C-alpha cells in the first residue's frame, strides 16, 4: 500500500480522527457557479398548510394559523411534528426536524432520517452520523456548536429508500423556513437529494463538488453523503478536499 493511500485510509476513519493539516488552495473566482434561476428566486410566500401532493385525503392534525413564512421555531416544530402532507408520515415513528444551534453559521443538509434517526428523533445518529461527526471534528466543528443539521425530508423513507421527488418537493418549504430562521453563512448539501432539493435542478455530485453554488445568496457546497463514503473508500479523499474547501469558504465569509 502506498504511503499516500495509507495516509488517506487513516484519515477516513480507519485510523484516528481526521485532522486538517494544510490550508486549502484559494478558490478561483471563475469556480463560483452562477445561481440557477430558481435558486435566485426570493423566498416564496407559503400557504398556511402545504398543498397535499400525494395523500389529499389525509388532513393535517394541527390547524396552523400562521403562514409558514411567518412561523418561528416552535410553530414550525409543531407543524412538522403533525405533518401528514405526504405518504412518508404513514410509516414514520416521528418526524425529525433537525438538531443544533439555531443561529449556526454552518448548516449541513442530509437526505432523510434512517431507522435510528426515526427512533431517536435526531438527524445523523447512526453509522453515517458518526462519520459526519468525524468530518465535522476534522475542521474543528461539533454538532450543536455553531452547526445545525437538517434533512431534505423530515420523515423516514421506508426501507431507507431515496425520497421521491414529490416527497422532497412537499417537504422543501420546511427546510426553506429553517434556512430563513437560521440564516447560515454556509450550507453544505450532503449527497444528491439534498443538493437537488436546495438547487431545484439535476445535480451530479462528481461534477458539482469543488464548486461554490448559491442558495438565495447563501454559498452552498455539495459533497458526498457520509453513508456513501462509508461504502466508497476511495472517494473519501475527495470528501477531505471538500472539507478543506468548506473551511476556506467559511473563513472568506467571515473576513468579508
Ligand atoms: N442519512 C441522512 O441523510 N440523514 C440522516 O439523518 C441520517 C442518515
Identify the CATH number of the domain in which residue 227 sits: 3.40.470.10
Q: What are phi and psi of 88, to 5 degrees?
A: -65, -20
**CA 113 to ligand 1 center in whole angstroms:** 5
At residue 59, the pLDDT reads: 37
Which residue has its alpha carbon closest to ligand 1 atom 7?
Answer: 124
Whether 169 is in a domain gets the answer: yes
At residue 63, the pLDDT reads: 45
Nearest to 179 by CA among 150, 136, 222: 150
CA-190 nearest atom, ligand 1: 3
Strands 147-151, 99-100: pairing kind: antiparallel
Q: Which domain holds residue 117?
A: 83-255
| Residue whose C-alpha cell reads 398548510 in the numeric block | 49
pLDDT at position 15 over 70:
no
Could you write out the DSSP letters of every residue in 11-78?
HTTSSS-----SPPPPPPGGGBPPPPTTTTSPPPP--SSPPPSS-TTPPPSS---S-GGG--HHHHHH
200 to each of 72, 111, 192, how far by Cα in Å?
Answer: 25, 14, 11
pLDDT at position 226 over 80:
yes
114 lines ligand 1 (CB under 6 A): yes
User: Per-residue pLDDT averaged across 74-85, rounded?
Assistant: 98
Whether 184 is in a domain gets the answer: yes
Q: Would you give the distance in Å from CA 16 to the centre of its chain?
A: 25
CA-194 nearest atom, ligand 1: 3
Top pLDDT among 26 and 216 is at 216
**CA 111 to ligand 1 center in whole angstroms:** 5
pLDDT band at 29 (very low <50, low <70, confident <90, very high): very low
Whether 247 is in a domain gets the answer: yes
Candidate from 151, 154, 161, 192 with most ligand 1 atoms within 8 A of CB, to mutate: 151
Cell of 228: 456513501
pLDDT at position 31 over 90:
no
At residue 66, the pLDDT reads: 77
- Tell me the percentage of the chain whose pLDDT exceeds 70: 75
User: Per-residue pLDDT averaged across 54-82, rounded?
Assistant: 73
User: Per-residue pLDDT averaged across 59-78, rounded?
Assistant: 79
Whether 129 is in a domain gets the answer: yes
> What sign does the CA torsion over 169, 155, 79, 179 have?
negative
At residue 18, the pLDDT reads: 58
The residues near 214 (Cβ < 8 Å, ≥ 6 apart) are 32, 33, 34, 35, 39, 40, 220
Mind listing the pLDDT tens digit for each residue in 49-59? 333 333 333 33
pLDDT at position 237 over 90:
yes
Lowest mean pLDDT among 8-12, 180-184, 231-235: 8-12
Lowest mean pLDDT among 40-44, 134-138, 204-208: 40-44
111 lines ligand 1 (CB under 6 A): yes
The single-letter DSSP state of residue 176 is H
Mind listing the pLDDT tens digit for each residue in 144-178? 999 999 999 999 999 999 999 999 999 999 999 99
- Tell me the percentage of the chain whose pLDDT exceeds 90: 74
Q: How many domains does the chain have?
A: 1
Top pLDDT among 79 and 50 is at 79
Contacts by residues 33-37 (CB-CB < 8 Å, ≥ 24 positions apart): 33/208, 33/211, 33/212, 33/213, 33/214, 34/214, 35/213, 35/214, 35/215, 35/216, 36/199, 36/200, 36/201
123 lines ligand 1 (CB under 6 A): yes
Whether 205 is in a domain gets the answer: yes
Q: CA 64 to CA 137: how far, in whole Å?
A: 39
Q: CA 218 to CA 231: how far, in whole Å?
A: 30
For the chain, how far is it from start to end, CA to CA, in angstroms?
A: 43
Top pLDDT among 17 and 45 is at 17
Q: How far is it between the farthest Cα atoms of the chain?
A: 62
Whether 152 is in a domain gets the answer: yes
Q: CA 179 to CA 188: how far, in whole Å?
A: 12
Whether 67 is in a domain gets the answer: no
CA-116 nearest atom, ligand 1: 7
193 lines ligand 1 (CB under 6 A): no
Q: CA 239 to CA 134: how far, in whole Å?
A: 12
Which residue has its alpha carbon closest to ligand 1 atom 6?
Answer: 123
Q: CA 110 to CA 189: how far, in whole Å?
A: 6
Tell me the whole-structure pTM to 2 decimals: 0.81
Segments in 72-123 forming alpha helices (H): 73-82, 115-120
At residue 220, the pLDDT reads: 98
Whether 124 is in a domain gets the answer: yes
pLDDT at position 41 over 80:
no
144: left (phi over 0), alpha (psi -120 to 50) or beta: left
Mind listing the pLDDT tens digit for each residue in 195-224? 999 999 999 999 999 999 999 999 999 999
Amino acid at each position: 500500500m502506498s504511503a499516500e493511500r495509507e495516509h488517506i485510509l487513516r484519515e477516513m476513519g480507519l485510523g484516528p480522527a481526521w485532522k486538517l493539516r494544510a490550508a486549502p488552495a484559494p478558490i478561483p473566482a471563475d469556480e463560483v457557479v452562477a445561481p440557477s434561476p430558481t435558486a435566485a428566486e426570493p423566498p416564496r410566500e407559503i400557504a398556511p398548510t402545504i398543498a397535499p401532493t400525494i395523500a389529499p385525503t389525509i388532513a393535517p392534525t394541527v390547524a396552523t394559523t400562521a403562514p409558514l413564512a411567518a412561523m418561528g421555531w416552535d410553530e414550525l416544530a409543531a407543524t412538522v411534528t403533525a405533518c401528514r402532507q405526504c405518504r412518508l408520515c404513514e410509516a414514520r415513528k416521528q418526524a425529525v426536524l433537525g438538531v443544533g444551534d439555531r443561529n449556526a453559521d454552518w448548516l449541513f443538509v442530509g437526505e432523510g432520517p434512517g431507522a435510528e434517526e426515526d427512533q431517536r428523533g435526531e438527524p445523523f445518529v447512526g453509522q453515517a452520523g458518526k462519520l459526519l461527526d468525524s468530518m465535522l471534528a476534522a475542521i474543528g466543528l461539533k454538532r450543536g456548536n455553531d452547526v445545525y443539521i437538517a434533512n431534505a425530508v423530515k420523515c423516514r423513507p421506508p426501507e431507507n429508500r431515496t425520497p421521491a421527488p414529490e416527497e422532497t418537493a412537499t417537504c422543501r418549504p420546511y427546510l426553506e423556513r429553517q434556512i430563513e430562521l437560521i440564516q447560515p453563512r454556509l450550507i453544505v448539501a450532503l449527497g444528491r437529494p439534498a443538493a437537488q432539493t436546495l438547487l431545484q435542478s439535476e445535480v451530479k455530485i462528481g461534477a458539482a463538488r469543488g464548486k461554490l453554488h448559491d442558495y438565495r445568496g447563501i454559498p452552498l457546497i455539495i459533497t458526498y453523503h457520509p453513508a456513501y463514503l462509508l461504502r466508497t473508500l476511495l472517494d473519501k479523499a475527495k470528501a477531505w478536499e471538500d472539507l478543506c474547501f468548506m473551511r476556506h469558504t467559511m473563513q472568506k465569509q467571515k473576513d468579508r
